[in-house]
Amino acid sequence: MLLAIPDILTPDEVATARAALDAAEWIDGRVTAGAQSAAVKNNAQLAEGSPVADALGEMILAGLARSPLFISAALPQRIFPPLFNRYGIGADFGVHVDNAIRAVPRTPIRLRTDLSCTLFFSHPEEYDGGELLIEDVYGPQRVKLPAGHLILYPSTSLHRVTPVTRGARVASFFWLQSMIRQDAQRSLLFDLDQTVQQLGLEHGGNDANVLRLSGIYHNLLRQWAET
């Protein structure tokens, strides 16, 4: 499942984050890449654990927590602390797949990367190129979202960032371990949850069929979830 999720951050939060990011010190982005990814990665990144990264990461996590669409689609169990990257003119990231397991810095926690996330801080008109190109069952999907919006996609996907030819692309990227390991099961639960919510709006939450479908959703979640 590949899903664009709008308004994770408000315009004011985006503006605050951009001011902090524009003033921040950037390092070589290959510091967090695996051996295969490092060979094709050409961008800049905030140092993990820097005060700016930590503060903005908390802002992002709060934004995710207040997004029902994100919770419904991702069913997150653990979220990797958000990282931040910058692609200036000529920067890109070649075709790669994300590491299956990530160690959370400064903790003993390791998480399985079920879903990958990119949250945009640059408005599309600020830069040319820099599209996130994700290989999907329906062919390559080009993603370039408004600032404050997020793209959620399976970490198993081959993907790349095309070269930036004007301006700069600034974003946050991170991974999460879902309570539901299998993408097909997550997609089914998401579709069912969205249907239940829509029917609830149309017929009321106490409608017998809405309650029955809600029960099916929770029983499937109970059967498939890993906690």
Using the predicted structure, report yes or no on whether residue 3 has a pLDDT greater than 80.
Answer: yes
In terms of Cα–Cα distance, which of 135, 79, 113 is closest to 183?
113
Query: How many C-beta atoms lie closer than 10 Å to residue 53's C-beta?
Result: 21
The reply to whether CATH 4.10.860 applies to domain 183-224 is yes
The response to whether 142 counts as a known ligand-binding position is: no
Using the predicted structure, report yes or no on whether residue 136 has a pLDDT greater than 70.
Answer: yes
What are 87-109's pLDDT values in tens digits? 999 999 999 999 999 999 989 99
pLDDT (average), residues 113-117: 98
pLDDT (average), residues 159-183: 98
pLDDT (average), residues 193-220: 96
Going from N- to C-terminal start, the domains of the chain cover: 3-178, 183-224
pLDDT score of 75 = 98
pLDDT score of 200 = 95
The response to whether 212 counts as a known ligand-binding position is: no
Contact between residue 34 and residue 175 where contact means Cβ atoms under 8 Å apart: no
Q: Alpha-carbon distance 156 to 39, whole Å?
A: 19
3-178: CATH homologous superfamily? q2cbj1_9rhob like domain (2.60.120.620)
pLDDT score of 114 = 98
Confidence class for position 33, pLDDT limits 50, 70, 90? low
The response to whether 218 counts as a known ligand-binding position is: no
What are 35-72's pLDDT values in tens digits? 667 778 899 999 998 999 999 999 999 999 999 999 99
Helix, strand or coil, per DSSP, at residue 122: coil
Q: Alpha-carbon distance 180 to 187, whole Å?
A: 10
What are 72-84's pLDDT values in tens digits? 999 999 999 999 9
Q: Alpha-carbon distance 160 to 22, whole Å?
A: 24
Burial 100-122 (b: 16+ CB within 10 A, else e): eebeeeeeeeebbbbbbbbbbbb
Half-sphere exposure of 102 (CA within 13 A, CB side): 23
The structure's pTM equals: 0.93
Q: Alpha-carbon distance 126 to 113, whole Å?
A: 30
Which residues have C-beta within 8 Å of that of residue 208, sequence separation ≥ 6? none
98 to each of 128, 137, 176, how far by Cα in Å? 25, 18, 12
> Which amino acid appears at position 170 of this protein?
V
Which residues have C-beta within 8 Å of that of residue 214, sequence separation ≥ 6? 196
Structure tokens at 34: 């695996």
pLDDT score of 161 = 97
Contact between residue 150 and residue 117 where contact means Cβ atoms under 8 Å apart: yes
Contact between residue 152 and residue 88 where contact means Cβ atoms under 8 Å apart: no
What are 179-195's pLDDT values in tens digits? 999 999 999 999 999 99
Contact between residue 97 and residue 38 where contact means Cβ atoms under 8 Å apart: no
The response to whether 169 counts as a known ligand-binding position is: yes
